[in-house]
Amino acid sequence: MNIGIDIDDTITYTYENMLPFVSVMYNKNLVDLYKAKPSYQELIKTLPNYDKFVHDTFPAMVKLVPLRPHVVEVLEKLKRDGHKLIFITARSDDEYLGRAYEYSFEYLKVNKVPFDKLVIGSKNKSIDCISNNIDLFIDDSSKHCKAVQRKGIPVIQMANSFTSPVRGIRRAKDWNEVYDIIKEM
């Protein structure tokens, strides 16, 4: 199978890693932020000059972002099972000093994440899934999971700390569960 995979909050803890930067730049209490778990949409709506915040902090922030547990071992197993791994991320050049591809490629290499292809700037993931012949798509975002599933492509939603389950969309709590689901397919 060609497996399409999101990066942020699907193989990483980007959100949890970003909140300390919100805390510093906006002088907000980090305990309160972790408790409130504002969604990205809420942060975009409520934080002044959010674009500038992203521009000033994301390049350093993503270099520090931790991988979720078992990502590398599960992706290596999937490669050994004969699957192709295609990362499809919405990360854009606006956010990464014009170098979203280089930032993402470097991160995957440094962290020894196996992959066959990297697609960046994917605002409409259903289009990129179709053009890359994706057979299974894994993402934490309800919006992207719904859009891809509507095109008839099977989807697994990676659970994160700030998104509720969506009826009709299969959800995995971690990468070992993703592997078990794929073995059943």
Q: Which residues bind Mg ion (CB under 5 A)?
A: 6, 8-9, 140
CB of 34 to Mg ion, least distance (A): 18
By beta-carbon proximity to Mg ion, the closer residue of 122 and 182 is: 122
* Residue 5 burial (CB count, 10 A): 24
Task: Please compute, for residue 41, the number of CA atoms within 13 A of its CA located in the half-sphere on the CB side.
Answer: 5
* Nearest residue (CB) to Mg ion, 19 versus 80: 19
Query: Measured from the CB of residue 14, what is the shortest distance to Mg ion in angstroms?
Result: 7
Looking at residue 58, the DSSP 8-state letter turns out to be H
C-alpha span between 158 and 102 (Å, rounded): 25
Nearest distance, CB of residue 29 and Mg ion, angstroms: 25
- Reported residue count of the chain is 185
Q: Residue 172's beta-bridge partner residues?
A: 158
Q: Which of residues 80 and 123 has its CB atom nearest to Mg ion in the complex?
A: 123
Of the two residues 8 and 128, which places its CB atom closer to Mg ion in the complex? 8
Question: Residue 160 CB, nearest distance to Mg ion (Å)?
Answer: 8
Say if residue 84 is exposed, middle or buried (CB neighbours under 10 Å; 0-12, 13-18, 19+).
middle
